[in-house]
Amino acid sequence: MAAGLRAVRRWGLVAAPPSLAFTRSAFVVRKANNAQPNWLGVGLAFGTSAALWAFLIKQHNEDVMEYERRKATAHKCKQCS
């Protein structure tokens, strides 16, 4: 039984003591500065979105053209159907 308790403590399955709850974090949270937006990030976000939409519309148009081409050249033999 004692070995089982040591394993539980070693693997961190027991709640941490309260003193460890107030350790320093590697990440620092700052208040957002709305007076100076990150224009590079804004441009990348909108540019990526526009590029993805353009690709989506281009792909859709190609798919519609392929569908129309296949529909026009469909095999219409009465003996096969």
Task: Give domain status of residue 50, yes or no.
Answer: yes
Closest CA to 38 of 46, 49, 48, 26: 46
Q: Are 34 and 28 in contact (CB under 8 A)?
A: no
Task: Give domain status of residue 44, yes or no.
Answer: yes
Task: Give domain status of residue 7, yes or no.
Answer: no
Task: Give domain status of residue 13, yes or no.
Answer: no
Cα–Cα–Cα angle for 32, 37, 40, rounded to 5 degrees = 125
Task: Give domain status of residue 74, yes or no.
Answer: yes
Q: Which amino acid, one-letter code, is at 67?
A: Y
Report the predicted TM-score, pTM, of the whole model to 2 decimal places.
Answer: 0.52
Domain count, the chain: 1
Task: Give domain status of residue 67, yes or no.
Answer: yes
> Domain range spanning residue 52?
37-80
Task: Give domain status of residue 20, yes or no.
Answer: no
- pLDDT digit of tens for each residue in the chain (81 aa)? 566 666 656 666 555 555 555 667 777 788 888 899 899 999 999 999 999 999 999 999 999 999 999 998 877 777 765
